[in-house]
Every structure is written in structure tokens, then in C-alpha cells.
Amino acid sequence: MIQEQRKFSIVGNSVHRVDGVDKVTGKAKYTGDLVIPEVAEGKFLRSPYAHARIRSIDTREAEAMAGVIAVLTSKDFTDISPYMGRSKNKDHPIIAVDRAIFAGQPVAAVAAVDRATAEEAFGKIHVDYEELPAVIDVDEAMAENTPRIHDFAERNICFQTELVKGDVEKGFVEADEIFEDTFEFPMIYHYSMEPHTAIAQVDSDGISVWTSTGHPFGVRQEIAEIFHYPLSKIRVHVNFVGGAYGSKSGGKIEPLVVALARKAQRPVRVVQSVSEAMATCRRHAIKCKVKTGVKKDGTLVAKQAEIYLNTGAYTETGPIVTGRTLTRILGPYRYPNLKINSYCVYTNTVSAASFRSIGGPQTAWATESQMDIIAQKLGLDPVALRLKNLVKKGEEIRPKFRPLDADLAKGFKLVVDKLGWDGPVSKDGRGRGVGFGTTDPGAPLASTSTVHVLADGSVVVLCGTVELGQGAKTVMSQIVAEELSVSLERVMIRPIDTAFTPFDRSTGSSRSTTVMGKALELAGADARQQILELAAEHFEAPEEAITLKDGEAMARGKKVSYGELIHHHFAMQGGELVGRGYAHGGMAPDPPNPLFWEIGIGAVEVDVDRETGKVHVAKYVTAADAGKALHPLQCEGQDEGSAMMGFGHTFYESYYFEAGQIINSTMVDYKVPTFDDVPDEFESILIEDGNGPGPYGSKGLGEGGIIPVAPAVANAIAWSTGARIRTLPLTPEKVWRALQNAKKEQSR
């Protein structure tokens, strides 16, 4: 293949991060670091009740306070459309209107000279609530005679969808064994290092927003629809964002900050705390009932599943996540007969949003755990069971979806060999477990970019991909430097300003390197072609006789810099060449979904302390199908970071409620993994087959690593101790209780 023969000078190397020095020295400017003249500080007053009617709000005493600039309630929204949402059904008011339907929902907002004054004003806002019955989990929400959270949602179902293949009842008749299990996955907080932060200004020029978002153009669209402004009158600025993982997809706090700034008639900044961010969005909790029929030799013949997603008070991304669970519950396995039903359910909790591999970890927790339950009952090795049923490259995973583009067996063998697999229990009694994740990333198309080669030969890049900490600025710079044959230092990516930055759909769904990267590859190639044409004219030589290297064109033993070519062409000191790139439907395969398959494979070895229930991870091996690793070290970091996030929901993370309120909304009470939790041995394998649709055969890989962790660990515990756990997280207490139950079962 031509692609395999190409020699790369920058792409494929772990170059220094272009934003690294600024970040480690504190020079990188995040939204909360920006200095906007006359900016006021904003805070949101939140409902203490999970469900309550708002009888009245009296703001007069707060408004009379010294230092208070404005107090905002829903009564200020007579001239706008105060509902936002990611779906056609915009059901989410930017501030509570008649009811608060989750604890933590904003019911008023204050702008003051400082945050302390804004918080003090809360005590002078008098809200008369009538507390109403609340439902927190899906069983409560769907029970008979439960009050509807929204009048339009029967049985509190926000959305439902189904996948059918073959005849599942016939498949169960043909099965030798049938397994039925129920698994539960809790609500999880994204825990970005930077909680949601936004600054807004409304003046005669329009609306300007500085925000920590991964969707600047989505925020622009949301604000335009709410405030009835043309897109041309709205500017959204984004530079560095301190993590997102889906929590900053689409509008979150931005519309309310704009509304507050509009009333205050001056810029307003809102910097949320961790507790406030936990009440802004979270991951979907899922209850999953799985029924699987198999032959005695382990051949899978039928699968039926009912998946219930706790989507919270409003729709948000619920329907999208619900749709993805239909694929992700399948895993990478071959089923002749399927019937999958997925239900998105409203509850009186904070709305669930996108979160790294939407629906993937939750459904893999069920499927991958049950695979080992099957293996244990049938007396099969869990690795052998999976290899027997893996979909092969070119085969269909889901009907009418793109065939699989990866060699799963190859990747799986790499992982288990690296772990040293010779069975689910090691010779020294350690438990071993494996897990798979095969996901259909959305990776929506429509990314536009421009590459500007300036009069001195330096390069400016305009693209809408947000630097969330994932290394996007570095990889995008590598692609452009590679295409133009210039050093990385000569490439500069400008901060995002929707007034000037070309349109990009979003930063998420593992799409940036694949889709925006392709747009930049095309833009760089366009600019390169223009340089070749100028060089051909300069040297009076055919284009194929010209070599571009280190910012110079060479032919016939002579060379000329890009800057000299541009200067001569424009006959002046200025001028620039502009390359354009647009990644659109033309790069999609047929069928177009998914653009590529994202693979996550994990294998683990654990020690279980039978006296305390504490689990120690001795070794973890993870693998990702990169297609082509444009920056190998960052790829490994993404995969390992994703796996470490998986250890969080495996061992610690969950929202806990009491009387409808979150009771662990601080980082003292909500534990996440630290360096102490890193496995003793931690290996990441990058599979590079050049089979991706992105630049140079690349694929996205940042989401697959999180998926297999929890079931792999639970499987290792079960094989070594006999304790099978079906609910997360695997706290020491829960493991200890499972160990005691296993002892009782074994003694019968």
C-alpha cells in the first residue's frame, strides 16, 4: 500500500506537546483566568428539593443589598425562548419556571461585585416551595401510579428503541443453557479538573461568551435560538479547557450566564464549584436485564436484553445514549438472534449527559460479566469462549451497520499474552479477568479548517477542535507540519473564536483526530499544492521535480524558502496562501455508520484480601486499535487514562442520595483514583494496521479503554473467590459481603 510505504518525519513521532510549557508553568489561560473589564461575579441559587412547586420568589431584599447588581428569575424571560436541549424536544428550562424537578436546579441567579456578596444575597431571596413526591431510580419512576415528571411522558419514559435480529424465542429453544442476570451501573460524576465556567457579555455588538466547552458552535446555536439573535451576532471564545469527558458537550450553564449578563448590563462570570458541577450533569445510571442462550460448546445463539437508563430530569443526550446501548450491549460477539429493548427514563435527579463512551461501560458491565458466568457454568476458559464467538474482520456486528474493520482476535491475543494468561486463576492464586469493548463512535462529519502560510513561511491554523487536555493542538499541528514539510515550531493554532474559526461539529465522539484531522490533512495538502505551483513557476520546472523540505522548495540543486515564494508572488511584504479542508460525507464508508469501530480490550490480575474485601490490581493490560498512532505517547496516555477512569467507577464512584439530595458532592466524599491506584504493572498496546478513515489511516481511540475495566476486575474476583458481584462500585464492604455469601453457598 502507498500509505504503508510513505515515510513520515513528524507524524508517528512522540514530539513535545505544543501547549506543554504553558500548562506546566501556569501560563495557559483557562476561562476562569481571563480578565474582562468590569466583570461581575455570578452565582446560582439552587433548589434544596428533588421535586417542588415554586409558589413564589421574593428578590426585593437581595436586590437592595450593597454590591448586588442583578437578581434573575424566570420572570425575566418574557422576551426569549427559555428552554434548551440537545434534542428536538427542548424540555430543559435554563432556570426553574414553575417547578424544581431535581435537587440543585437553579431557581434564581445573582450578579454581584464579588462571589461572597452573591452568596450572601442567597439568604435574602425568599422562595416559597411546596414539596412534591420525587422518584430517584428507574424502578420508582416506572412503577404503577407514580406521578409523571413531565405530562408528555407516559410511565416517565423519555425515549425507547429496539433492535431485533432473527427469532430470539426460537434461539432460546435451540439453546442448551439459558442465563438470566440483572446488572446495575451507578450515576458517575465526570470530575473534570476545571468545573463548568463561563463569562458572558451582552452589548450593542451582540453576545460574547468565553466558556469551557467542547462544543463552541453548539453553544452558539443554543444561545441564538434562546435569545433570538442571528448567529453572526454571537461570538463564542474557547482556548484551554481543563477536561470535559462529555460534561461540556453542548450548552450547560452558558445560556443562564448570558441571561444574567443581559439583566446586569455588564459582563458576568460564573465559576462553579465541584458540588455545583455535580448538580449540572453526570453519567447515565443503567439497570440491565440480560438473557443469553448458548450451546454446550459455548456457541452463542440468542440474546435478549432490557436496558433502563436513568436520564434524570430532562432529555439532554438521553435518546442518543439510549440508541448507542443497542450496539454496545452486543459486545464484539456473533449472535444469530437478538432482541434488545432500551428505555430512557425520567427521574427527579440531575440530567445525564454524554460521558466517555456513552452507554459503553454500563452495557459492557452486563455483557462481559455474563460471559464469564457462562464460561464458569460450562467449564470453559473465558478467553476461549470469547475467541469462539468473536466477530471477524469484515463481518457484521449489528444489522445494516458497517462491517467490523479490525482484527479482534489479534488484539485479544496480544493482551492475554502480555498478561501471561494460562487460565483465570494464576498459580499463586491471583484472579484474572478479561473484558471487551466494541463501540460505534458517533464521529459526526462536517469539520472545516483553513491553513494559512504567511509571508515569512510560518503557518497559522484555524480549526474548531477544542484542546480539552487530550493533546489535540499537538496532533493537529503535527498533521499540518507533515503536509507542509515544516518544523512543528513553525505551526501556530489560533484560539477558537466562532467569529473567525471555521465551523466544526464538536469535540467528542472520538472524532477529532479522525474527522478534523482529515480536514486539516486536506487543508495542508491544498496549501502544499499552491506552494508547489509557485515553486514550479519560480524554477521553471515541473511540479514532480520539486521537493519540499523544512520550509523550502528545492529543484535542480537550488532552493527557495516558502516566504520568498509568497513575497515574490504577491510582490509586497504581506500576502499569504490559504489552504482549505472540509471533511464531509465523502469520507464516510458505505454503510456510513459507524465511521470506524472503536475497540477497547483489557485484561487484569488482582489480589483479593478476604478479611477486608479490598482488591489490589497487580497488573492491567489494555489495547487500543489506533489505525495509525500519530503521536504514540499521547495515544498510550489516552488509553491508559481511559482505563484509570474505568478503575474509578469500578472501585469507588457513585452518586449517593438521601431524601432526593446528593450527599457526597465534595471531593472528600466522592473518591476518584489517585496515583496510589495505578496497577503495579500497567501496559498499553497500540494496534496499528492503517485501517482508519482519518489522516494516514488513523482512528479515534480515547474512549475504548474505559469499557472493559469493571467487568474484567469483577470476573477476576469471581474466578479466584467464587464471589460474583452484579452492582458497582466494588467497594471493600460490597466485596466482603459477597465473599461471605460465597462461603455460605459453598458450604451448602
First-residue to last-residue Cα distance in the chain? 63
Q: Which of 41, 467, 688, 703 is catalytic?
A: 703
Give the number of other Cβ atoms within 10 Å of residue 498's Cβ: 23
C-alpha cell at 406: 479490525
- What are residue 659's phi and psi, to 5 degrees? 55, 40
Runs of H (alpha helix) within 405-491? 408-419, 472-484
Residues 6 or more apart whose Cβ sits within 8 Å of residue 572: none
Q: Does the active-site annotation cover 703?
A: yes
Burial class (CB in 10 A: 0-12, 13-18, 19+), 388: middle
Helices and strands: H and E segment counts in the chain: 19, 31
The DSSP secondary-structure symbol of 399 reads T
**Is the omega angle on the peptide bond into residue 589 within 30 degrees of 0, that is, cis?**
no
The C-alpha atoms of residue 368 and residue 385 are separated, in whole angstroms, by 11
C-alpha cell at 415: 493482551
Closest of 518, 217, 155 to residue 344, by C-alpha: 155
Detail the DSSP E strand segments found in 147-264. Answer: 157-165, 177-185, 197-203, 206-211, 234-238
C-alpha cell at 380: 470453559
Residues 6 or more apart whose Cβ sits within 8 Å of residue 413: none
Detail the DSSP E strand segments found in 564-614. Answer: 577-583, 598-608
Q: Which helix (H) or strand (E) holds 635?
A: helix 632-651
Closest of 273, 344, 360 to residue 310, by C-alpha: 344
The C-alpha atoms of residue 434 and residue 385 are separated, in whole angstroms, by 11
> Are β-strands 234-238 and 206-211 bridged in parallel, bridged antiparallel, or unpaired?
parallel
Catalytically active residues, by annotation: 703
